[in-house]
Amino acid sequence: MFVRFIRLFPTSLAALFVVGLAAYQAGAQSSGEDAHLAIENPAELSKEEALGIYKSLQRRMERGYAAAQLDLLMNYQAWPLFNDAPYISATHGQRYVNSYANRMAHNYGTLAEGEKLPMGSVLAKDSVTVTDEGNVHPGALFVMEKLAEGTSPETADWRYIMVMPDGSLFGDTMGARSDAVVYCHDCHEAVADRDYTFFVPEEYVIGN
């Protein structure tokens, strides 16, 4: 079924995007703490398939997120990318994600135990939903910003932001709807020894 969808993709994308985005937003607004809305049937894609789908949506996603008007995300797709193809992230709702980091986060991905990222580091994961039924649409953009020491002790000085595909702000731990994304840090507690950052799976690290 997915192969058939790939053939139809250019003509069906717009309709799928509208339907998928509406469903995503409606679900997210009613999901309470489970804002990632885990996909029950993510498609199993090769790296080439996942990369092709992402590239077809990439500019639209960038424009959508830009509507949030967050300066720290300006031109994020020009930042260093740490994966060679989108990969499924269980901690981001079984969506295909990409891991970008700004220049300040120069040591992201190589953190030794106890090492920290410098203030001003920003990590951004954009996401795409792809189901085994052939439904494809942009997902949320997940952001972490390293704040000055002591700014947010309850989140180990990390700021978490979730931007919806249309640029609306789902939540910001240092701003609007902070309670909607406070669970992000609860999840990242599992990697506290790496300054609360998840790494790219080894098989997707660029150069491996």
End-to-end CA distance of the chain: 31
Whole-number percent of the chain with pLDDT over 90 = 75
- Tell me the domain boundaries of the chain: 2-204
DSSP 114: T
Q: pLDDT tens digits for 76-133?
A: 999 999 999 999 999 899 999 999 999 999 999 889 889 999 999 999 999 999 999 9
* Dist. CA 172–CA 142, nearest whole Å: 10
In this predicted structure, what is the pLDDT of residue 36? 59
* Dist. CA 74–CA 105, nearest whole Å: 16
